């Protein structure tokens, strides 16, 4: 399968929304296409994230990854948070995820970033993909979160 990866623009929001909604459903969220569309449109319009799209030879969307900018105070450099990675079920096993991760790495290098960080569910099978592309499980730090909603 031929895969090309490109950075999304605001005009891509409508195309991304169904796949983003499927991604949210993977994490047990209720289907909500209008919410998915609004969220993606806002991120792109405000330039708050970078979304990379994987497409087939006909321009069909196969998957995406979304990166959020952040910083490391200790290294005094930019980092990218790879918050979302999703490949359409029928495109899995064809190198789409790997192509998206490589494009994310290239984007981070071009931006002069120190690293890319990500977290994933304990049962997410993509862990093997992450590790096969150089990501290492953090054993030095504990990660916490506080729900303030």
Helix (H) or strand (E) holding 33, with range, is helix 33-45
CA 35, 40, 44, 47: dihedral to nearest 10 degrees?
80
DSSP 8-state code for residue 29: P
Q: How many domains does the chain have?
A: 1
The CATH number of residue 127's host domain is: 3.40.630.30
pLDDT in tens, 77-136: 999 999 999 999 999 999 999 999 999 999 999 999 999 999 998 888 899 999 999 999
Helix (H) or strand (E) holding 6, with range, is strand 4-7
How far from 10 is each of 135, 139, 149, CA to CA, in Å?
Answer: 30, 38, 28
Q: Contact, 33 vs 17, CB < 8 A?
A: yes
The answer, yes or no, to whether residue 1 has pLDDT greater than 90, is: no
Task: For the chain, give the number of residues.
Answer: 149
pLDDT in tens, 42-86: 999 999 999 999 999 999 999 999 999 999 999 999 999 999 999
User: Considering the domain boundaries, does residue 86 fall inside one?
Assistant: yes
User: Considering the domain boundaries, does residue 36 fall inside one?
Assistant: yes
User: Considering the domain boundaries, does residue 89 fall inside one?
Assistant: yes
User: Considering the domain boundaries, does residue 122 fall inside one?
Assistant: yes
User: Considering the domain boundaries, does residue 141 fall inside one?
Assistant: no
User: Considering the domain boundaries, does residue 147 fall inside one?
Assistant: no
pLDDT in tens, 8-41: 999 999 999 999 999 999 999 999 999 999 999 9
Give pLDDT, residue 102: 98
User: Considering the domain boundaries, does residue 143 fall inside one?
Assistant: no
Domain of 29? 4-132
User: Considering the domain boundaries, does residue 39 fall inside one?
Assistant: yes
């Amino acid at each position: 399968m031929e895969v090309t990866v490109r950075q999304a623009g605001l005009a891509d929001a409508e195309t991304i929304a169904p796949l983003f909604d499927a991604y949210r459903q993977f994490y047990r969220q209720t289907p909500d296409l209008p919410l998915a569309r609004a969220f993606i449109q806002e991120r792109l319009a405000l330039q708050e994230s970078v979304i990379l799209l994987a497409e087939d030879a006909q321009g069909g969307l196969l998957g995406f990854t979304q990166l959020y900018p952040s910083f490391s105070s200790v290294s005094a450099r930019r980092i990218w948070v790879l918050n979302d990675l999703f490949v359409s079920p029928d495109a899995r096993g064809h190198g789409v995820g790997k192509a998206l991760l490589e494009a994310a790495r290239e984007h981070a290098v071009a931006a002069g970033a120190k690293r890319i960080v990500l977290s994933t569910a304990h049962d997410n099978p993509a862990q093997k993909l992450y590790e096969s592309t150089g990501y290492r499980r953090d054993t030095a730090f504990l990660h916490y979160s506080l729900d303030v909603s």
